[in-house]
């Protein structure tokens, strides 16, 4: 069986930057998972003693805090600074951009529409930069716009890992409704590239393996895109989740990985697939 990697996959700029920042501050703690990849977080813990705090209360007990790639709510960042904590900001610049846009457009009197998952830490942080939280709305579907008390002026941003086509649907609906719509395409270029590469590979593969955290938005998007073109597409976090039955009778296995997936995890998956092949071949020859 041939194994083919997508032409673009894995670590994005923001994740590489965050990991480098964390490695330069051993003994510190991240506020929330630095990235959505447990294996890489475990590596940072064992090799650099990078801790993890999950709540603001826990963060108050730590002297040196690394802000996760997804950012944190504005008020929490302000309070931590006021308490004299050492703040090491590893927020991805592509996430900082929509934060700044929301803050500026909100001050200028625009209603804010954020296209994304309201429960995702990135979106919680972005929305917190609105001057008036009652005038900032998070939507995932066009239908959700109908009941919103929007002003005549609307500014719209997107979660960095969403599908561009879905964002366009939200934008088109707003243009038909509001007098003025300011559109800020804040979807990350790395997301475009990984999604396009995964789609192209899925069109020719017998099966697809998408590697990444189960809570990673961009990884779940990749898996969804792959399933559109290749029904036998599987989302795994590491090589331990591979099922030998998936590979029976397959000629081309495509592999993609989310933006928080380190290459060493990808290589472990490839090595495990080859082991499965060898075991299968040995059993057939007996």
Q: Give the active site residue among 24, 83, 86, 122.
A: 122
- Hey, what domains does the chain have and what are their CATH numbers? 2-9+189-285 (3.40.1010.20), 13-91 (3.40.50.11270), 94-183 (3.40.1010.20)
- Report the 10 Å Cβ neighbour count for 279: 11
The structure's pTM equals 0.85
Tell me if 92 is assigned to a ligand binding site: yes
pLDDT band at 286; cut points 50, 70, 90: low
% pLDDT > 90, the chain? 90
261 has a pLDDT exceeding 90: yes
Mean pLDDT (whole number) for 11-32: 95
Can you give 116-160 as a three-state secondary structure string? CCCCCHHHHHHHCCCCCHHHEEEECCHHHHCCCCCCCEEEEEECC
* pLDDT for res 128: 97
Tell me if 25 is assigned to a ligand binding site: no
pLDDT band at 201; cut points 50, 70, 90: very high
Tell me if 224 is assigned to a ligand binding site: no
Q: Do residues 258 and 219 lie in contact, with contact meaning Cβ atoms separated by under 8 Å?
A: yes
Mean pLDDT (whole number) for 240-264: 95
pLDDT digits 0-9 by tens, 148-183: 999 999 999 999 988 889 999 999 999 999 999 999
Indicate if 103 belongs to the active site. Answer: no
Tell me if 268 is assigned to a ligand binding site: no
137 has a pLDDT exceeding 70: yes
Tell me if 226 is assigned to a ligand binding site: no
pLDDT band at 75; cut points 50, 70, 90: very high
């Amino acid at each position: 069986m041939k194994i083919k990697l997508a032409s673009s996959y894995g670590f994005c700029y923001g994740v590489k930057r965050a990991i480098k920042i964390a490695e330069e501050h051993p003994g510190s703690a991240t506020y929330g998972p630095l990235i959505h990849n447990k294996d890489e977080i475990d590596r940072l813990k064992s090799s650099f003693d990078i801790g993890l705090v999950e709540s603001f209360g826990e963060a108050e007990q730590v002297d040196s805090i690394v802000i996760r790639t997804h950012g944190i709510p504005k008020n929490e960042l302000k309070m931590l600074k006021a308490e004299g904590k050492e703040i090491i900001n590893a927020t991805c610049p592509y996430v900082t951009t929509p934060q700044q846009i929301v803050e500026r457009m909100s001050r200028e009197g625009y209603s804010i529409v954020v296209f994304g998952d309201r429960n995702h830490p990135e979106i919680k942080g972005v929305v917190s930069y609105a001057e008036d939280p009652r005038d900032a709305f998070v939507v995932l579907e066009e239908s959700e716009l109908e009941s919103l008390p929007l002003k005549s002026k609307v500014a719209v941003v997107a979660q960095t890992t969403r599908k561009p086509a879905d964002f366009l649907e939200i934008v088109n609906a707003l243009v038909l409704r509001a007098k003025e719509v300011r559109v800020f395409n804040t979807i990350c270029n790395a997301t475009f590239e990984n999604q396009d590469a995964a789609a192209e590979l899925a069109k020719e593969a017998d099966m697809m393996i998408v590697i990444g955290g189960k809570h990673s938005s961009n990884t779940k998007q990749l898996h969804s895109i792959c399933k559109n073109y290749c029904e036998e597409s599987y989302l795994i976090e590491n090589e331990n989740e591979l099922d030998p039955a998936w590979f029976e009778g397959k000629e081309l296995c495509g592999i993609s990985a989310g933006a928080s997936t380190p290459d060493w995890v990808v290589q472990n998956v490839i090595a495990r697939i080859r082991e499965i092949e060898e075991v299968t071949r040995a059993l057939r020859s007996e």
